[in-house]
Amino acid sequence: MRVFPRILVLIICSCALGCSTSKTLFFPDAPLSRTPQEIRYDVNGNGRADFALQAGADNRTTTLAYAHEEDVRYDRMYRINDYETDSVPHLIILLDSVPYQCVLDYYNAGGFSWFPPPQKVIAPFPTLTAVIFNQILQAPPLAGTNNYFYDQRVNRVCNRFWEAAAGGKSAWQRCLHYSADYMREGMGFVNTRKIFSRELESVKQALDQSPDRVTLVYVVSTAAMACRYGRQGVDESLREVERLCLQLLWERQGALKISILADHGHNLTASQFVSIKNILTDAGFAVGDKIQSDTDVVIDTEGLVTYAGIHTRRPAAVADVLLRKPQMQLALYMEAERVIVRDDSGSAAIEKKDGKIRYVPIDRDVLNYQPVQALLTMSGKADAQGFATPEAWFAATVDHEWPNAPPRIWDAFHGIVVCPSDLMITLKDGYMSGYPLFRAFIDMASSHGGLNQANSATFLLSMTGRAIRPLRSSEVMQTIEPGYAPAILPGK
């Protein structure tokens, strides 16, 4: 594919961006003072406090206080929880690539103090953005996991890059009041902080102009912040999103509900590139864009991630080759009516019957799930054959190294996308695959795509008070907005 011209255009445009001070977002980046009971801000910039967040008995913010005389005698006070959720606007901010643990740490340190505690959200697998947001917004299944994928129905690779560059959007993106255009999305990986700042300005503008009670916005540049700067980039993103939210609450006297969530986690580990194409070519496979023989292989992936989807008539044989490499983690493929899960030491299987799922070691407990299986059986949540509901698997494994793995793996081959890969590979954290050319423009401090906790666990913060337990991505929207169905917006 012709990637280089697009990246060259992005670099030229990025270099043309000048430095500017935002007139849209002006809330101070730090308070004047902070105690457990009160956080004071100087919003007008004259050095004196004119706004404060006041805490209740649990040290969480309950009240917004305004001091127009700037003498700490408050003229107006608004209790956030006095506003009923369904009577005020609800801004739902979708972020890209923010791990749950980072948000929990930030919250425990005093950030986002007006929100109830963050809830863990486990993404579907593979942990790729389009797949996940498509499920969160309950859009029809995508054809493939990304913009460059093999379609077995027509035996060729479909390349949506140029369609996206021309303004084409997927169904889930057309439900959004704001999302970056393709040029801005690409420039985020070159001029990262500048684009991130501009995206936050666009979020505020989208809310101000929205005719709807529920406003959905998507900030893609948090992905670049994580990929380029690792944990520092994630924490910086959270600080700036918090600052945006504070300005919106300040402007609207608290008459606003905000929910913030992300698509997937990130491993926060500097990553080395591994060429799956070269490994397979050296082993005698023909890597191309069609399947015409037993040696043909098509790889569909994008970016630099810890996942690769491979199309082949011989998934077990391709897995044999890849699992000899120490960088590989898991190989997953269908064998008759079950999914095989392999690492370099053995294999297990996932099976489904009557809506229930079981995990069965063949010659190895690859996912270390035997203690979980025993617990499910002892509690009566698994039947005598070991089958349990997806809900039971989720509850039992949400904090496991491989969270909710049996249902997620099964779904990856059965309906997450129209054209699933024949073989799904995950790489160990610290390694990545994808487009080699991208390495010339970014040193990856973090990546994602895999099945493990680091890649899978993200978060939900919601002022609605409706998020009170861990969730699967598919449950998020109906939790914070029961009965709400995102629809394609006019003009999208």
Contact 9, 184 (CB under 8 A): no
Give the pLDDT confidence of 18-60 residue by residue, as tens digits: 444 456 899 999 999 999 999 999 999 999 999 999 999 888 9
Specify whether 185 is located in the same domain as 212: yes
Q: Enumerate the β-bridge partners of residue 217.
A: 93, 178
- The answer for residues whose C-beta is within 8 angstroms of residue 47's C-beta and 6 or more apart is none
What pLDDT score was predicted for residue 2? 35
Query: Does residue 149 lie within any of the structural domains?
Result: no
Specify whether 203 is located in the same domain as 98: yes
Q: Enumerate the β-bridge partners of residue 78.
A: 64
Specify whether 192 is located in the same domain as 335: no
Question: Between β-strands 272-273 and 431-434, what pairing exists: parallel, antiparallel or unpaired?
Answer: parallel
Question: Could you tell me the CA-to-CA distances from 491 to 169, 212, 240, 264, 488 in Å, in that order?
Answer: 12, 15, 30, 29, 9
State phi, psi for 274 to the nearest 5 degrees: -125, 125
**How far does Cα 450 stand from its chain's mean position?**
12
Query: Does residue 314 lie within any of the structural domains?
Result: yes
Give the pLDDT confidence of 82-119 residue by residue, as tens digits: 999 999 999 999 999 999 999 999 999 999 999 999 99
Ramachandran class of 234: left when φ > 0, alpha when ψ lies in -120 to 50, beta otherwise? alpha
State phi, psi for 131 to the nearest 5 degrees: -60, -45
What pLDDT score was predicted for residue 162? 75
Specify whether 325 is located in the same domain as 197: no
What pLDDT score was predicted for residue 437? 80
Give the pLDDT confidence of 412-449 residue by residue, as tens digits: 999 999 999 999 999 999 999 998 887 877 899 999 99
pTM above 0.85, yes or no: yes
Contact 147, 301 (CB under 8 A): no
Query: Does residue 24 lie within any of the structural domains?
Result: no
Query: Does residue 261 lie within any of the structural domains?
Result: yes
Residue 302 has pLDDT above 80, yes or no: no
Query: Does residue 37 lie within any of the structural domains?
Result: no
Cβ neighbourhood burial of 360 (10 Å; 0-12, 13-18, 19+): middle
pLDDT band at 320 (very low <50, low <70, confident <90, very high): very high
What pLDDT score was predicted for residue 200? 98
Specify whether 130 is located in the same domain as 202: yes
Q: Please give the Cα distance from 112 to 126 (Å, whole number).
A: 29
What pLDDT score was predicted for residue 12? 42
Give the pLDDT confidence of 247-298 residue by residue, as tens digits: 999 999 999 999 999 999 999 999 999 999 999 999 999 999 999 999 999 9
Query: Does residue 382 lie within any of the structural domains?
Result: yes
Place of tokens 């849209």: 24
What pLDDT score was predicted for residue 381? 97
CA atoms within 13 A on the CB side of 112: 26
Question: Could you tell me the CA-to-CA distances from 318 to 285, 344, 458 in Å, in that order?
Answer: 8, 13, 31
Locate 421 and state its tokens: 């890969």
Q: Please give the Cα distance from 136 to 147 (Å, whole number).
A: 19
Specify whether 276 is located in the same domain as 244: no
Ramachandran class of 303: left when φ > 0, alpha when ψ lies in -120 to 50, beta otherwise? left
Name the helix (H) or strand (E) containing 246: helix 231-251
Contact 438, 273 (CB under 8 A): no
Give me the sheet containing 304-305, strands edge to edge. Answer: 272-273, 431-434, 304-305
How many domains does the chain fold into? 2
Contact 152, 311 (CB under 8 A): yes
Specify whether 198 is located in the same domain as 246: yes
Average pLDDT in the 353-373 region? 97
Specify whether 94 is located in the same domain as 243: yes
What pLDDT score was predicted for residue 4? 36
CATH of the domain at 204: 3.40.720.10
Q: Please give the Cα distance from 144 to 314 (Å, whole number).
A: 20
Cβ neighbourhood burial of 120 (10 Å; 0-12, 13-18, 19+): buried
Specify whether 277 is located in the same domain as 379: yes
Q: Which residues of 49-88 are buried (b: 16+ CB within 10 A; e: fewer)?
A: bbbbbbbeeeebbbbbbebeeeeeebeeebebeebebeee
Locate 420 and state its tokens: 């699933």
Q: Please give the Cα distance from 368 to 349 (Å, whole number).
A: 13
pLDDT band at 72 (very low <50, low <70, confident <90, very high): low
Q: Please give the Cα distance from 296 to 200 (Å, whole number).
A: 45
Specify whether 222 is located in the same domain as 300: no
Query: Does residue 463 lie within any of the structural domains?
Result: yes
Query: Does residue 243 lie within any of the structural domains?
Result: yes
Place of tokens 């929207």: 477
Average pLDDT in the 244-249 region? 98
Specify whether 400 is located in the same domain as 343: yes
Q: What is the 3-state secondary structure (H, E, C) of 107-174?
A: HHCCCCCCCCCCEEEECCCCCCHHHHHHHHCCCCCECCCCCEEEECCCCEEEECHHHHHCCCCCCCHH
**Residue-range definition of the domain harbouring residue 290:** 272-440
Q: Which amino acid is at 299?
A: I
Specify whether 411 is located in the same domain as 333: yes
The closest of 441, 425, 443 to 433, measured between CA atoms, is 425
- Write down the mean pLDDT value for the chain: 92
Question: Could you tell me the CA-to-CA distances from 327 to 322, 429, 431 in Å, in that order?
Answer: 9, 9, 6
What pLDDT score was predicted for residue 71? 66
Q: Please give the Cα distance from 102 to 238 (Å, whole number).
A: 9
Q: Is 345 helix (H, G, I), strand (E, B) or coil?
A: coil
Give the pLDDT confidence of 288-300 residue by residue, as tens digits: 999 999 999 999 8
What pLDDT score was predicted for residue 409? 98
